[in-house]
């Protein structure tokens, strides 16, 4: 029998979704053009720009957190390049969204340039001074910048993890990949053909060396409710494909928070900023967990600016496959991982899911039992920290990043000179 009515219904849904997506994209482009028309001339690449190094960011505000977390390391590299005599403004940032450009000028004093068109990108990337360009993600617009042969192109990623995206063959497009540590280098070497060690430089997670302080809102919370160990619960987003569907809050967020609170723990809840972008059930799950947080004096809704201070005040972390889990290793404190409920999510073998207590989708263990198990084997996390991040003593990671940045710049200087001499 024909399935025509059902087919028509499915086509109608797809048609409605297409119209909705097209309308959203059109509205976004219209907003971008309005913002672009208001930008002052100094947002565009300048004839006087003499950047030796730069960060390239080709996507919009929904992913700007990826760039923000690298701003402090970029500022430290900028300061070192100044000390070495590379000029007054050796490091710049080039973005392709006018809204991102305006936002980034509120975040950093590093020069921020904008160009939607290739003409401006040409001017920025072909400067005779440019030696290194850093990329904080694997976004498709990166390839518009990678076509310029003179600067060295360096992939940073926006966090260490064992997501399938971390072993993408796209890494070969870059001259160098700055890896977090031994685990990342081994992962890439095992998977990608022709990816040699000389193209990978370990830098740890240099943003973790940024000076940090405990926010007043946490101090107020502790003063009001100071009993019980603190668990940092930081779920990730749902992902934009089956293979990247590592998020689980829609399946177990409420039970995790309720279970921890019932067991006497205090909870810091910090959801990924992109949760709910792709799926409404994930957005609803965040709201449902927020309701629980708001109703319990031992629960803290974390809306602070960054992820760092939580590592100092929390005793245990509960995290999914995201950079938060791997950054947490620097604390050398217990960690519980959450297995993705999606069967399509690709999990690399031999990683944290094999090394830490794991809340599995088909398991009968409760979250409080797993936290207690993690707390009983705290010694193991020192070894994990070394394996994934290397030396995490104060200042060690930012020093490695600066040294690696200088190496790339000096190496490209030498290579350019060799071409000139031929």
Q: Does position 273 have pLDDT exceeding 90, yes or no?
A: no
What six digits make up the tokens of 213?
A: 């302080």
Considering only CA atoms, give the Rg of the chain.
23
**Cα–Cα distance for residue pair 241/137, rounded to 1 Å:** 16
Average pLDDT, the chain: 90
Q: What is the pLDDT of residue 16?
A: 57
Q: Give Cβ neighbours of residue 82 (< 8 Å, ≥ 6 apart).
A: 88, 90
Sheet holding 112-114, edge to edge: 112-114, 91-95, 53-57, 132-135, 152-155, 176-179, 200-202
| CB-count exposure of residue 159 (10 Å: 0-12, 13-18, 19+) | buried
Tell me what percent of the residues of the chain surpass a pLDDT of 70: 92
pLDDT at 419: 84
Question: What is the C-alpha separation between 271 and 263, in angstroms, rounded?
Answer: 21
* pLDDT at 329 (0 to 100): 96
Q: What pLDDT score does 1 carry?
A: 45
Q: What are the tens digits of pLDDT across the range 291-337?
A: 999 999 999 999 998 899 999 999 999 999 889 999 999 999 999 99
- 245 or 80: which leads in pLDDT: 80
| Cα–Cα–Cα angle for 301, 158, 257, rounded to 5 degrees | 25
In order of 104, 361, 412, the CA distances from 75 in angstroms are 13, 42, 21
- The set of residues, in sequence order, having a beta carbon less than 8 Å from that of 340 and lying 6+ positions away, is 245, 246, 247, 248, 320, 321, 347, 361
232 neighbors 325 (Cβ within 8 angstroms): no
Average pLDDT over residues 124-134: 97
* More confident: 83 or 276: 83
CA–CA separation, 207 and 8 (whole Å)? 52
Maximum mean pLDDT: which of 128-132, 192-196, 240-244:
128-132
Model confidence band, residue 25 (pLDDT cutoffs 50, 70, 90):
low
What pLDDT does 2 receive? 47
Q: What is the dihedral of CA 114, 118, 119, 121, to 10 degrees?
A: 50
Please give the pLDDT value at position 181: 94
CA distance linking residue 343 with residue 271, whole number of Å:
22
137 in Cβ contact with 117 (< 8 Å): no
Query: Tens digit of pLDDT for each residue in 55-97?
Result: 999 999 989 999 999 999 999 999 999 999 999 999 999 999 9
DSSP structural state of residue 135: E
What does the pLDDT average to over 218-232? 86
Question: Which range scores top for mean pLDDT: 133-137, 233-237, 239-243?
Answer: 133-137
Q: Kindly tell me if the per-residue pLDDT of 108 is higher than 60.
A: yes
Q: What is the pLDDT of residues 335-386, one digit of tens each?
A: 999 998 888 888 888 889 999 999 987 766 789 999 999 998 766 889 999 9
d(CA 232, CA 209): 20
Q: What is the per-residue pLDDT for 9?
A: 61
pLDDT in the model for residue 218: 93
Distance CA 161, CA 182 (A): 12
CA distance 54 to 362: 46
């Amino acid at each position: 029998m024909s399935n025509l009515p059902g087919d028509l219904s499915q086509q109608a849904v797809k048609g409605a979704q297409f119209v909705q997506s097209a309308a959203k994209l059109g509205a976004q482009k219209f907003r971008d053009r309005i913002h672009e028309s208001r930008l002052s001339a100094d947002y565009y690449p300048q004839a006087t720009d003499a950047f030796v190094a730069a960060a390239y960011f080709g996507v919009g505000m929904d992913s700007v957190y990826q760039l923000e977390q690298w701003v402090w390391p970029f500022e430290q590299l900028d300061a070192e390049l100044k000390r070495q005599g590379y000029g007054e403004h050796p490091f710049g940032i080039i973005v392709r969204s006018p809204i991102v450009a305006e936002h980034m000028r509120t975040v950093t004093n590093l020069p921020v340039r904008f160009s939607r068109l290739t003409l401006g990108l040409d001017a920025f990337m072909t400067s005779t001074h440019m030696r290194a360009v850093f990329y904080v993600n694997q976004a498709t617009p990166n390839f518009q910048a990678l076509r310029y042969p003179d600067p060295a192109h360096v992939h940073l990623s926006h966090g260490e993890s064992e997501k399938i995206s971390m072993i993408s063959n796209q890494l070969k497009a870059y001259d160098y990949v700055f890896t977090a540590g031994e685990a990342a280098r081994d992962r890439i070497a095992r998977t990608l053909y022709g990816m040699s060690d000389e193209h990978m430089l370990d830098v740890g997670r240099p943003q973790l060396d940024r000076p940090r302080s405990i926010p007043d809102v946490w101090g107020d919370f502790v003063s009001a409710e100071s009993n019980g160990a603190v668990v940092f619960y930081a779920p990730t987003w749902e992902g934009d494909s089956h293979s990247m569907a590592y998020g689980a809050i829609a399946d177990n967020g409420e039970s995790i928070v309720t279970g921890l609170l019932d067991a006497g723990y205090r909870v810091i809840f910090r959801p990924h900023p992109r949760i709910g972008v792709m799926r409404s059930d994930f957005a609803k799950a965040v709201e449902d967990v927020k309701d629980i947080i708001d109703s319990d004096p031992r629960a803290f809704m974390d809306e602070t600016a960054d992820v760092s201070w939580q590592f100092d005040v929390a005793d245990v972390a509960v995290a999914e496959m995201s950079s938060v889990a791997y950054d947490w290793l620097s604390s050398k404190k217990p960690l519980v991982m959450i297995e993705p409920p999606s069967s399509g999510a690709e999990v690399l073998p031999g990683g944290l899911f094999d090394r830490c207590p794991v809340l599995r989708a088909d398991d009968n263990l409760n979250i409080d039992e797993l936290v207690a198990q993690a707390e009983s084997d705290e010694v193991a996390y020192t070894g994990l920290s070394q394996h994934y991040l290397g030396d995490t003593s104060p200042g060690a990671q930012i020093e490695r990043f600066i040294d690696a940045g200088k190496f790339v710049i000096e190496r490209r200087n030498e290579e350019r000179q060799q071409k000139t001499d031929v």
